[in-house]
Structure formats: structure tokens, C-alpha cells
Structure 1
């Protein structure tokens, strides 16, 4: 592509749009359940609303990835931002269940549309400038770092805004009265998220140049998306390394879901009350995002230290697995250092997963060409979500105690073991989302 951005500029713009997408998500993490409760929604209704979001993302993950590969990265990413803006506004102002259900549906569609296009744009841009052997890991690490920092900063700001509005001359009450109760303080983070979402859309449209694509008619889209999706579903069967990446995504999903499911209850048990436990959990969530950012930033160093990205992945996953095992062990030993060990284990989980992600995706992008890149990322995301959901169901049925933590750690260590045998190098696929023939190291 003539006039393609140089890798440094592509890295900066990729990190910027990644931050702008995830910052609004972090903003509403601390307040969304509390806002729904203030709107009069019971726990059953809240669970239904979140299920709408999760099921929508799962159902549309692959078709939206295929759509990006057919019609382009920028238009799909901009559509994602527009839908997320609408979802945040409806969520902030909605009081009826059907409005909130629509908000969660639109948010799910926007999340599915966002899965892959920005990263695929970055890889396409760098490879068009520097060739298929261009260095990708640094930019992928910057993107992962940006998303983690955005979530950490958003969580802190989103949790602090309603509290700040309750100080001084009670600005929160004045805001509620001025809007006839439509905008309580807990709705402010969602409205701020909508404003940031508009900046995200503008940045995508003006800062992510793409090479011209031939116009795609509705027939082309209806025919091309299913073909691309089917190619994505065949990825794992066609190449041992791609299969490892997908299976590792499932192991990471199981670990993350275990931690997110069990940590709030453990935090409440440590502090002795649900309210103080919620504060501790918010602090832990922010610390986890920071550790993810540090791990992602260190991913290129890990690859150099281990000798290759393929060797860095199992080392990183083993670090995360050790953290989960450490959390399980601290339930059996309640000595004076148990709390410090538990905090160390929690940090190791996110540090290890943060370091593994960019190295895995660097390997993935070298096995899949541009025509199926976003679909491959969508397959990876779908595996993470589905295995995570299954792990959550299993962990919820296990007796309270160390067993769920130890099981999650064992799954993550099993994911690391998949990388012990190395696949033979293969050239990137060309012309379609298919991948090279299976290697001798296929599992």
C-alpha cells in the first residue's frame, strides 16, 4: 500500500483507539450493578440483563469478525463505537426493563464488532509497510497495555465520580433534582463513557487509514461472511500452532472466570462485610488491570529472555497458573503471611496472562493472512468466553474452599504444557483464511 503508516505511527494509533474503546467499559464497572439496583432492578433482572450482553457477544463473535474481513476494519470499528455510545446513553437514562435490555443488546453487538478489527488493522498496516516478516510483538504488547491501563483508570474514575458528587454542597442531589431523577450520580460514569465513545469514533474515522477496497454489495457480504466464518472455524484443525493458541485462550478464560467469580466473596470474607468487601474487590480489580498492563508491556522482553515468543508463552502461563495455585494454598494456611501471599498470587495471575497474550497473538498473525485475520481473533475470543462460562459453572458447583482455585490453576498449567512440543515453522497463509497443512507436532 503506497503511503502506508510506518510501524511507530501505527503502534501509537492502535494503542490510542484501544485505550479509547476500553476506557468507557472501565468507567461503568464499579457502578453498573448499583445503578440497576437504584432503578429498582432485582438480582434476577440484573442477571438477565448481563446474560443478554454475554449471549449477544457469543452469537455474533464470528459473523462480525467475518464482516470486518469482507468490508474493512475501519467501518466495522466505527459502527462498534456508535452502537456502544447508544448503549451507554440508554443504560444511563433507561428505567424500564425493555430499555435496559436494548442497551445491553446494543452493547453486546458493539463488543462483538470490536473484537479483532483494530488489531487486524495494526497488523495489516505494519506488514504492508515492512513486509510479512515485520516485527509485530511490540505493537501488540502496546495495545494490550493500553487496554489494561484504560480499564484500571476507568475503574478508578468510574468508582470515584459518584462519591465525589456526594461531597461538598451535594452536587449529586442537585443533579438528580435538575434532571427530575433521570440522571442520578451513579449514571454519570455511563454518560461520560458515551462522550469518550464519540471521541473513539472520530479517532477511528480520521486516524486509521485503510487501503481502498472494492465496493461490497449486499450479495457480496451475504456470500463472503459465511465463507470467511467457515474458514475461521477450520483454523484450529488446520495448524497445530493455531490450535495451541485457541486452546490456550480457553485455559485463560477458565482462569479469569474462576478469579472473577470467587474473588468478591473472598474479599467480603477477608473484610467481614459485603460493603467493605466491594471496596477491596474494586481495588483488587484495578491492581489486576495494572498487573496485566505490566505483563503486556514486558511481553517483548519475555520473548527475548526465553529465546522466542513460542517459549515465552508457556513461561507466562505457568506464572499465572502458579498465582492461582498460590491463592488456593492460602485458604489452607492462615498464617500471618497468608494475606501477602494471596495478594502476590493475585498479581501473578494477571501478570502472567498479560505477558502471554501479545506473544500468542504475534504467532497467530504469522499463520493467518489478512483475509481471515479478524475472524481468527474472533474465534480466539469466542473460545475464551465459552470455556470461561463453562469453568464458571463448574467452579460454582464445587464446594467452597481451595478446590476451585486449584482446579483453575491446573487448567492454566495444562495450557502451558501444550507449548512444550514445538510446531515446525510454516509460511503464512495467502489468499484465504485457511492455514498451512497440519504439522508433525499436531496435538
Structure 2
């Protein structure tokens, strides 16, 4: 009798015809490629999006509403879409995320009214929720189907994290530079705007390029990510299965101490990122003395942050080996990030080269620490959950990050200008790291073997 601890082999639509899974090397390469193709379009819009909305005549309050539409849509759909991936399959949900991204970037690039732009941001949030987990869940499912539940995962997760950060860095530079390049020489941007009656501005080019890349992403997902066929189910059965999967994912965090630490650590990371994203633009403007030049500095800092995050992802397996395990690596990584935020707080009110250098070091430490912690946390997570709820668990993790980030943003917005807000973020991140102090790794959760199978 088959031991239930052994992962079921991939099967084709013919019950007796085996469908061998991809090798771990091939699965890792395709997972990395999917990560790049998904996040590169997002990076293209980081620098120009707010400026594009401003050029369309949108007030700051309206722009804040657009981003609220994105965040609220992503948060509301995070768990249901994770459950959907576990019920109907990873590839279908990822392709749907790409199609939503295609629609979102097109509306952002061409939209001229508030409701169209708000719809574009909401669709981006829905796509973000759909994409949260399926690609990683596909990779882990494929590797474990090939090599068993104890297959090595950390290196693949680290490489995908490195690729994600590199794609965001490259996209940020390209998206920020394209509108500027169009304004050089014979002013191609003005001619482009005139030829389209103002529909396409130079700032519209990055999101429209992102829309084209989304088509490439969808085609790659559909052709390069094979997965075993799932039992056919009616729409009613699918909708009934999603809440059950979501509830199981939430319960896992309550009954498993390792998963609980992972979720709390994700929340701590969300607090750190909220502090960086809200305070760094203003700090950059203060350093340069002007909002425009501060935006350029912030774009450079964001790119540098992604590079540090990529380096942290790359070093995650080494950190685990040097620290003696993934748990200690998470402790040290989050602790390093907390030191970075505290250093930013110490240098918040200073002027001159020393505070500037100290702040830059602190900024890099935060992203380096968060980057090194991520693959080690997810390696632990995937050894605590089964394939039936893997995408849901990743969605719960993402939701924890988003919710704590939202609350932290509200809290620090009430604090006076100065080091206090930075210290709040550093304290929360340090608390997330200390959760792993003295933690010992329990045996992975595995189904019991029936007596008949022994």
C-alpha cells in the first residue's frame, strides 16, 4: 500500500498514464522566469504613476483614493483568491492575474477620468491578490512531486526572490527613464501626445509597455507551467470549496506555532515597509530641498532598496547555513533590518554627510534583512502545509503584511516629525525577529500512516 507521506505522482487525464513532473532545476528556472515577467511590469509603473495621474489633472485626494481602491481590493480578495488557486489550479489563476494586469495597465496609461483610473487601480489590486501565492505554490508542488516532501526548497525560493527584486529595480529605472528620454532631442513625447490628441503622454508609455509585457506573462504561464489535472468540478462546488480552504488556512496559524511566528513576522515586515514607503519620499525631498529633485532621489533609493533586497534573497541559504538553521537566520535577518530602521531614526534630524551616510546604510540594512528573511520563512512555511492549502497559506501571510502595514501607516501619520516613527517601525520589526529567539524546529506536519500501510 502506498505511504500517504509520499506525494502523489502527476497524472494525465488518462488515469493510468503517468505525467512525470519537471525536474527541480527546470521548475526553478521557470519559477524565476515567471517571477521576473510578473514583477517587471509592476516596476515600470512605480516611478511615473503618481506623476501621470497628476498630469491627467487628478488632485492629491483623488490619487490617494485610487491607491486605497488598490489596497482594499487586494485585501478583500487575498484569501478567496488563494483558496481559488488551491481548488482550480495554479496556472489558471496566474493567467487570470496577468489578464487583470493587462486591463489595469491599459486603463492607467489611457484613462483620463477619475472613475477609469480608479477602476484600473482596483483591477491591479485584484490581479495582485490573484498572483499572491500560485507561482510559488506551483514550484513547491512540482519539486515535492519529483523529490518528495523533504526536497530542498530554499535555494529556489531565494533565486526567485532575487529575480523579483532585480526585476523591480530594473523596471523602476526603465519606467522612470523612458518619459525623460522621450523628451530629449526632437521631443518625441510632445509629438506622441499631439498625434493621439493627448490620450498618450510620455508618462503613459511605461504602463502601456507594462500591458504588453503582461501578454508575454500570460502566454508563458499557459505554456511553461504544467500541473496535474484536477478533478472537474461545477461552479457551485468550486465556490463551496473556497471558504473551506480559507478557513483551514486561518486555523493553521492558530494551531501551529511555526506558522503563527511566520504570520507575525510578515506583519512586522509590513510595519517596516510602511514606515519606509511613507517617510522616505519626504526625507529625500528635505535632503534636496525640492519635491522634484526629491522624487528623483527617491526613485534611486527605491532601486537601491530592491538591489539590497535581491542581495538578501541571494544570501538567504548562506545565512541559514551560517546561523545553524532557518529559524536563527530569520532572527538575525529581521534583527538586522530593525537595526537599520533604528539607525534611520537616529539620523532623522541630523544634517551633513554623517547622517546622510548613516541613513543610507540604515535604508540598505532594512531591505537586506527583509530579503534574507523571506526565503527562510517560506521554506519553513512550505514544510508545515500541504499542497491542498499552500496558496491559501501564502495569501494569509500576504494579508498579514498588508493589514499591519495599513495600521502602521495610520499610527505613524499621527506622530510628530522626527525619529519616533522610525523607532516604532524598528521596534515592531525587532519584536518580529525576537519571536524566533530560542525557537526549535518541530517536525513537519505529515499525515499519519495507517496501520495497514506499516
TM-score (structure 1 length as normaliser): 0.96
Partner of 2:337: 320
Partner of 2:177: 160
Indicate the RMSD between aligned Cα atoms, in angstroms. Answer: 1.1
Q: Are residue 184 (structure 1) and residue 184 (structure 2) matched?
A: no
Partner of 1:146: 163
For residues 273-315 of structure 1, what are the alpha-carbon distances to aligned partners after superposition, in whole Å with 9 as ceiling and x for unaligned? Answer: 1111111111000000000000001100100111111110000
Partner of 2:151: 134
Q: Report how far residue 332 of structure 1 moved.
A: 4.9
Hey, what's the Cα distance between the residues in 1 that align with 2:236 and 2:283? Answer: 53
SS state at 2:163 partner: helix
SS state at 1:40 partner: coil
Partner of 2:118: 101
Partner of 1:419: 436
| Contiguous gaps of at least 5 residues in structure 2 | 1-9, 11-18, 449-454
Distance 1:347-1:424 versus aligned 2 partners, 3 A rule? closer
Q: Are residue 338 (structure 1) and residue 355 (structure 2) matched?
A: yes
Partner of 2:94: 77
Hey, what's the Cα distance between the residues in 2 that align with 1:326 and 1:168? Answer: 43
Which one is further off, 418-427 or 133-142?
Answer: 418-427
Hey, what's the Cα distance between the residues in 2 that align with 1:200 and 1:414? Answer: 38
SS state at 1:105 partner: helix
For residues 194-226 of structure 1, what are the alpha-carbon distances to aligned partners after superposition, in whole Å with 9 as ceiling and x for unaligned? Answer: 000000001100000001111121121111000
Partner of 2:104: 87
SS state at 1:285 partner: helix
Hey, what's the Cα distance between the residues in 1 that align with 2:135 and 2:146? Answer: 17
Partner of 1:114: 131
Partner of 1:298: 315
Q: Are residue 308 (structure 1) and residue 325 (structure 2) matched?
A: yes
Hey, what's the Cα distance between the residues in 1 that align with 2:260 and 2:352? Answer: 42
Q: Are residue 216 (structure 1) and residue 233 (structure 2) matched?
A: yes
Partner of 1:7: 24
Q: Report how far residue 324 of structure 1 moved.
A: 0.4
Q: Report how far residue 429 of structure 1 moved.
A: 4.2
Q: Are residue 385 (structure 1) and residue 409 (structure 2) matched?
A: no
The correspondence of residues 249-268 of structure 1 with structure 2, limited to 5 A, is: 249-268=266-285
Distance 1:296-1:415 versus aligned 2 partners, 3 A rule? same
- Paired residue for 1:63, among 73, 80, 85? 80
SS state at 1:422 partner: coil
Q: Report how far residue 331 of structure 1 moved.
A: 2.5
Hey, what's the Cα distance between the residues in 2 that align with 1:100 and 1:308? Answer: 46
For residues 215-273 of structure 1, what are the alpha-carbon distances to aligned partners after superposition, in whole Å with 9 as ceiling and x for unaligned? Answer: 12112111100000101111211100000000000000000000110001111111111
Give the conservation status (yes or no) of the 8 Å contact 1:240–1:423.
no
Hey, what's the Cα distance between the residues in 1 that align with 2:285 and 2:44? Answer: 22
Partner of 1:436: none
Give the conservation status (yes or no) of the 8 Å contact 1:28–1:190.
yes
SS state at 1:298 partner: helix
Q: Report how far residue 430 of structure 1 moved.
A: 4.6
- Paired residue for 2:43, among 10, 16, 26? 26
Hey, what's the Cα distance between the residues in 1 that align with 2:447 and 2:105? Answer: 40
Hey, what's the Cα distance between the residues in 1 that align with 2:420 and 2:92? Answer: 46
